[in-house]
Amino acid sequence: MSGIPLAEASVTTDLVRALLKQQHPDLAHLSVSELASGFDNFMFRLGERYSVRMPRRKIAAQLLTNEQRWLPLLAPQLSIPVPSPVRFGEPGLGYPWHWSVLPWFDGECADVDPPATTAATSFSQFLLQLHQPAPPDAPLNPVRGGPLAGRIESFDERIARLSSATDLITPDVQKLWNKGLNAAVTTQHSWLHGDLHAQNILINQGEISAVIDWGDLTGGDVATDLQSIWALFERPEDREFILDEYAPDQATLERAKAWAILMAVVMVDTGLTSSPRHEKQGRQQLARLLQDS
C-alpha cells in the first residue's frame, strides 16, 4: 500500500469524553475537538492545555507504549519541548489499546510555517542532545535506524512508481541514493526520533516550539534523523550551519542524504495517492538535496 493505511479502530469525540470520564474524571469537563488522523494515531485537542493521542492501528499501539515509557526519561535532556505524556489511558469502552494525554504546544507544522534562520542553532543543539548512546533495551524499529539495505525492496517499488508518474527520479537522485547505500556505518547505536519530517516539527514565531510524534523512537543510525535537515530548512546556509555544528563524518553525511531521498520518495509516493501535502514536502526535500550536492 502506498497511501495512508486504513484505521483499525473507530474513535469519536464522544468516545474520548467517555474514556476521560471513566479513567481521568478530573479532565472530563474539558472540551474535546478532533485535530487530525495520521498514519498511526488519532489526535484530539483537550481544553487549552492538553491533547489526546490514540492509536488508529494495532501496529501503532506498541509505538505509543514506547513513547509512554521512554519520553519521560529523554525529555529532561532536550532543550526543545517534546510531548512527554502527562496521563496514561487504558483500553476501555470497546477501544482496544493504551492511549495518552499530552501537553499542548502552540505552533504550526514546519511545512506550513518554515523555521527561521535562528532556529538552525536550536535544532543542531537538539540533534546533538538526542543522539546519545541508546541502552540495550531501547525500542527496535524495523524500518527506521537500521541499514539502508533493509529498505531496498520497498524503495525500488516506490521508485518504479514515481519514475512512471513523475520526472523526479533523476540520475543525480539515484547517484545520491547509491552513495549512501554503499557508505559504511560509522556511528554508534544512538537514540533517534525516527520520523523527523516537517509535520512533526512545530514552529511558533519562527522558532521550533516542539518536536512531536515520537512513535518511531528507536536506537540506531543517526543518519535516519539527519535527513530532517533537508526536510525543514529552506536556505542552503542554514543547512550548512547545522551540518557544521553537528559535524558528521563523510560516510554519515552520505547515509543522511540517502535517508533524505528515501523519506522524500515515501512522501511523494503517499502524496500522489492520498495527501498532496506529503507530495509537496517530498518534492521540496529532493530539490534541496540536489541544490546541496
User: Does the structural domain 109-292 have CATH classification 3.90.1200.10?
Assistant: yes
| Closest C-alpha among 51, 89, 45, 83 to residue 67 | 83
pLDDT at position 74 is 97
pLDDT at position 39 is 81
Q: Which three cell numbers stand for residue 248?
A: 558528521
pLDDT at position 275 is 82
DSSP annotation of 84 reads -
pLDDT at position 1 is 39
Q: What angle do CA 93, 99, 105 make, to 5 degrees?
A: 130
DSSP annotation of 75 reads G
pLDDT at position 36 is 85
Task: Note the pLDDT tens digit of each residue in 120-147.
Answer: 999 999 999 999 999 999 999 989 999 9
| Angle between helix 171-182 and helix 250-274 axes, rounded to 10 deg | 130
Beta strands per DSSP E along the chain: 32-37, 41-46, 50-55, 87-89, 99-103, 108-109, 190-192, 201-204, 207-211, 218-220
CA 263 to chain centre: 10
Q: Which residues of the chain fall short of a pLDDT of 50?
A: 1-2
pLDDT at position 37 is 85
Q: For the chain, where do the domains classified as CATH 3.30.200.20 start and end? A: 13-104
Task: Note the pLDDT tens digit of each residue in 59-96.
Answer: 999 999 999 999 999 999 999 999 999 999 999 999 99
Q: For the chain, where do the domains classified as CATH 3.90.1200.10 start and end? A: 109-292
- 202 by DSSP, 3-state: which? strand
**Look-up: residue for cell 521550533?**
208
Could you say which of 3.30.70.980, 3.30.200.20, 1.10.10.10, 1.10.3720.10 is the CATH number of the domain covering 13-104?
A: 3.30.200.20
CB 192, CB 130: distance < 8 Å: yes
pLDDT at position 3 is 61
- Say what percent of the chain tops pLDDT 90: 92
pLDDT at position 2 is 47
